[in-house]
Amino acid sequence: MGTDVRVCFVGDSFVAGVGDPDHLGWVGRLAADSHALGRPLTTYNLGVRRETTADVLARMNAECTARLPADCAAGVVLSLGVNDTTLLGGRTRVAGPYSVANLDMLMRQAHGARWPTLVVGPPAVDDEYQNDRIAGLDELFAALCQRRRVPYVSVQFDLRREATWRQEVRDGDGAHPGRAGYQILADLVRPAWESWLVGLAGGGPVW
């Protein structure tokens, strides 16, 4: 009997796959590909539209605890941050230092529960001013994850230069891509995901 592998994907609307007519997003595509390669797993999509790092922090521990029992190989994939950079009343919904502190606390909670963690950075949208803010937050997130020795996948730089992603986002709601865009995002995340998943199934390091 194979290892009981369970993964919670926690974050915002990009985790939820908003805009994908197949209702798979990048999360569903990676999970399906892993299953096809002989690595079956149980996935829980805990993406919620419009949520910031503060919103995710308020619910992550309880939601993952309910889905990740101690007797399984459990892990958490975090992907969030775009909504933090959205302007509201002339300022970002969450200031950069607070976004970093929230991500740090999320990783600490996961560490305390012994859930290995993979972090996927915020993707690009159809607003270059916001993309600049996303790029700044992406750098802060990457530096934090490097200090914590948590694997981090930066995607915004590649997506800003990816014509298909940009066109689908522009044709959609200005933030979310369609089928092809989510496939591109899944492909960017895949190398780190596959390496992380092998470690998870094999009982790799938690931190």
Q: Give the tokens for residue 191.
A: 């190398």
User: Angle at CA 126, nearest 5°, toward 165 and 107?
Assistant: 80
Structure confidence by residue, pLDDT tens digits, 51-63 = 999 999 999 999 9
Spatial contact of 155 and 82, defined as CB atoms under 8 Å apart: no
Which pLDDT belongs to residue 203? Answer: 58
Domains of the chain in start order, with CATH, are 5-201 (3.40.50.1110)
Q: Is the pLDDT of residue 206 over 50?
A: no
Q: Is 118 helix (H, G, I), strand (E, B) or coil?
A: strand
Spatial contact of 65 and 27, defined as CB atoms under 8 Å apart: no
Strand partners, 88: 91
Q: What is the mean pLDDT of residues 7-24?
A: 99
User: Residue 69 and residue 40: Cα distance in Å, rounded?
Assistant: 17
Q: Is the pLDDT of residue 207 over 70?
A: no
For the chain, what percent of residues have pLDDT higher than 70? 97
8-state DSSP, 85:
G
Strand partners, 75: 7
Q: What is the mean pLDDT of residues 24-49?
A: 97
Q: Is the pLDDT of residue 110 over 50?
A: yes
User: Residue 181 and residue 159: Cα distance in Å, rounded?
Assistant: 9
Mean pLDDT of the chain: 96
